[in-house]
Structure 1
Amino acid sequence: MGCTDSKDNLTPEELAIMNGELSLMYQAYQASDVDLVYRKYSNDGIININQWQNVSSKLKLAAYSAPMPPKIQKFYDSLKAENKYKLRDLLVIGIYLSTGKSIDKARLLFEAYDENDAKVLSKGDIQQMTSFIVEVAVEKTCVLIQDDDPNNVQPEEMAKFLQKLRTVKNKGKQELCKMFLGGNPALTELTMEKFVENVTMPSTVQLLTFQGVRKFIKKQEVTASKFAALTSLKKPTGPSDPKAELPKAK
């Protein structure tokens, strides 16, 4: 799974979300192994319920326990449409929450969206990828927070934490896409080699974890707050030329 900060530098809210993510139990596996199992039991980019049961059994995920814990059920239900999962959605989650070298995770992440094995992704593909990653990091894994989490975060405190992220979520998607594009939003496509290079630099490798993505989005919230504070400063209401209002000599 990886962690971009020591626990001493993380808020109780962030620690509670991370503990919830651990409850899915991907951290026991290498990203390459998770990718292999998901692909083995998929068909045409889709995983149906029977295939999903095979995957969760093979990997001994928490989802295979009977009965499935309600919070985990809710998490996976949020990914499901017409009783099926998109393979790439499950791959992204497995890649982000498992262990492995950053270069391997980056390659697997690219391949999750390179469904035709073209070794090239369009800017639109990158936008879809980063949008999904942000949605999971901000909206989906928070449902996994355990009732007995040792961080004792009050519901209202968690609500404030998440609301701050949500206010800049769309901005975060744009900025994350820009980072994955190597800082050049004008690009129309990206090769695997360049993508891996872009997301494994010291300044970007943290973006291969959901915790790192939330930290990145939080920076957008801080930036937005500073900008709002600056623009709210009242401009002088008087004339720009003080001589313009001098009383005329009689």
Structure 2
Amino acid sequence: MVEKHFRIISELKILLKALDRFFISGVLPLTEENITLKDFSNELNVVKDVILRILSILEVIIPESIKNAYWLRKYAETKFFSLYPNISIIEDIRKQDKPEKSLLLLYDSFINLKGIISDILKSEFISYTSFKNVGDSIKKELRENKYFSPFQRDIDPEIDKIENNNISTIIKNIKDKNIRKYIALFYIYIFRVLKYLQYVDISSHNKITLNNSVILLFLLKTEIILITDFLNKGKKIVNETKLKDLL
């Protein structure tokens, strides 16, 4: 399943990370003065559209038979819970004893979040607190996901690759272990940014596509900050004459 949907799973992981970063303090252009007065309807609409895209990806990835079984149990849970309290599907999938259950857990969580956000968006004014509460719920679900959390490790070997053979060869030939690691990480971060850019589409007239691109641009902002901090911490290495041409 994973091999078959490699590209779309990569997009899923990137969107999950972008969704999480969207709620980090300092990412949105906010000030202490306007945070209490600002209506966060637009931001929450962006989140809703990203969730819709995530759900559409999950619809493709999750096998039809598993999806059908999920909805059947969901229906039974709604209709007959008072008679059969042990049929709750969430308790079963929260075990996450295999990747399919982790996917279903994401699916279930985002279906519920979509409904909650839709209800919140009916309000005339959405406060920062309401916006942040949605973000906290998303962060919790992502970090508790066993197989598809984008935060299990800093470097994801399926996404973070130096996709240039010449650069890879040069790095492998650097004898100093610390310098080799530093240069490798720098290029991994650069190619990560380039990969994220592949999913940005600002030419589309589709609202969901545009909002997905918006949230990816905020993700790119945080990645550029990460690269800048990384370079600042390694100034001594960067300033070595032999390495200037590599960076």
TM-score by length of 2: 0.31
TM-score by length of 1: 0.31
Rg bigger for which structure? 1
Larger proportion of strand: 1
Larger proportion of helix: 2
